[in-house]
Amino acid sequence: MYDFAIIGGGIVGLSTAMALGKRYPNARILVLEKESNWAFHQTGNNSGVIHSGIYYKPGSFKAKFCRDGCLSMVEFCQEHGIEHEICGKVIVATNETELPRLENLYTRGLENGIDVKRITPEEVREIEPHVTSVGGILVSSTGIANYKQVCYKYAEIIKQQGGELHLSTKAEKIVTSGKHQVLETNCGTFETRFVINCAGLHSDRVAKMGKTDPKAKIVPFRGEYYELTPEKRYLVKGLIYPVPNPDFPFLGVHFTRMIDKSVHAGPNAVLSLKREGYKKTDFDLRDFAEVMTFPGFWKLAAKHADEGIQEIIRSFSKAAFTRSLQKLIPEVQQEDLVPTHAGVRAQALMNDGKLVDDFLIVQGQNSVHVCNAPSPAATSSIEIGKAIVAQIPQQPHLKAVVTQV
């Protein structure tokens, strides 16, 4: 009998298991991951940015967890010798019409308590000599990290705490048996008092398996990247972002210097026809049919048809992708860009066609379900883990330690 079973070995599931192990040192904790390694999906295919928290609505979970998570992630990387760097980033307006949105973003950064500085086009050039802009914001606390390494370290700590980690183990059914729940998997059954669903792209399905209404459906949005050829890496010193469209939770294609010194350009945001569909040709009938028969999707599509079509064009046309990047760095040419990995975002969408803006954690019977944890959930993972543990009702049979992670 386990006290807690966590479904999903991405950064959120692992950070939650780690936080549980700190809070309840005597608890029997189990983590189930269907893939053969940790961080296989969103976590292992992201941009690797430690976000500062400038973008998010003041007072939201995203704003709070990201600001605090940025600090705790850096501290964790320092303590455990994980590759990271606080390189700062610039967000630039590339024409006059973007300036009011840039100004709003600056104000939001101040409201969120972030160290932001409004900078002139000349100051942008001093930081990023190849960028053309009409003004920008410098966010000094933004950084980069290797999130796979972070996950491997989380897993190591969970093991040291006495937790049990099972790879290649897919939770297929959740059956309630009295006060307990039985997780049926491809590797046998596991009985637990409490279930925590951190299944990312499958979190809505796992919530339903546990008889909990996830409140929204996961719609997969693929983010495709190109990489700058090694000879052209000099064009980018750190992180260069456009001013985002405030109607979307995506940040617009940008340049990211990764921790291994490569420079990635992207990601775009295009509907994926498969939840774990990393290639344009990937298709899954069940995943596709679920999106196509979901009324919320059609409401979203009707409202944002233009943007959707532009994204599809940019996905299939390297020239269109390059044009978006040239707004930031005019020197970039198609031949400087090589396609590289893609990631798929688990974005929750409501029935009324609204994208769930904030992190969404839903309580069930002896269970908690993380039903929306897109970016900046990697940055925020330590704080999300702590918040989930705080939401779990007191377990009378377990001794709790008050100190947090």
Contacts to ligand FAD by CB under 6 A: 7-13, 32-35, 40-43, 45-49, 51, 170-171, 198-202, 206, 223, 267, 343-345, 373-379
Residue holding tokens 């630039």?
92
Which tokens belong to 198? 């951190």
Q: Which residue is nearest to ligand FAD (CB)?
A: 10
- Classify residue 354 by its DSSP letter: P
Minimal distance in Å, beta carbon 87 to ligand FAD? 13
- Give the nearer residue to ligand FAD in terms of CB position, either 114 or 171: 171
Closest approach of ligand FAD to the CB of residue 206, in Å: 6
Q: Which is nearer to ligand FAD, 253 or 373 (CB)?
A: 373
- Of the candidates 356, 233, 278, 213, the one whose C-alpha atom is nearest the C-alpha of residue 46 is 278
Q: What 3 state SS string does 186-228 have?
A: CCEEEEEEEEEECCHHHHHHHHHHCCCCCCCEEEEEEEEEEEE
CB of 379 vs ligand FAD, minimal distance in Å: 4
Q: Which is nearer to ligand FAD, 102 or 206 (CB)?
A: 206
Q: Among candidates 10, 255, 13, 11, which has minimal Cα distance to 142?
A: 255
Q: Least distance from C-beta 239 to ligand FAD, angstroms?
A: 9
| Residue 27 CB-density burial (10 A; 0-12 exposed, 13-18 middle, 19+ buried) | buried
Measured from the CB atom, is 116 or 199 closer to ligand FAD?
199
User: CA of 258: how far to CAs of 83, 124, 405, in Å?
Assistant: 10, 20, 27
Parallel, antiparallel or unpaired: strands 135-139 and 116-119 = antiparallel
For the bound state, the minimum distance from the C-beta of residue 40 to ligand FAD, rounded and expressed in Å, comes to 5
- What is the smallest separation between the CB atom of 344 and ligand FAD, expressed in angstroms? 6
Least distance between ligand FAD and beta carbon 9 (Å)? 5
Instruction: Determine the Cα–Cα distance for residues 109 and 79; give it in Å rounded to an integer.
Output: 28
Residue 151, amino acid:
C
CA dist., res. 396 & res. 374, Å (int) = 33
Q: Which residues pair with 219 in a beta bridge?
A: 347
Nearest to 367 by CA among 144, 81, 176, 171: 176
Minimum distance from CB of 175 to ligand FAD (Å)?
14
The Cα 263–Cα 238 span in angstroms is 9
Which residue number, 4 or 135, has a Cβ lying nearer to ligand FAD? 4
Instruction: Report the C-alpha gap between 385 and 15 in whole angstroms.
Output: 5
Query: Smallest distance, Å, CB 383 to ligand FAD?
Result: 11
Positive or negative: CA dihedral 336, 339, 340, 346: positive
User: How many C-beta neighbours within 10 Å does residue 305 have?
Assistant: 10
Cβ proximity to ligand FAD: between 7 and 389 the closer is 7
Give whichever of 171 and 253 is closer to ligand FAD, judged by the CB atom. 171
Smallest separation, CB 42 to ligand FAD (Å): 3
Q: For ligand FAD, give the closer residue by CB, 124 or 150.
A: 150
Beta carbons within 10 angstroms of residue 87's beta carbon: 17
Distance (Å, whole) CA 288 – CA 304: 19
Residue whose CB is less far from ligand FAD, 183 or 329 = 183
Residue closer to ligand FAD by CB (options 219, 373) is: 373
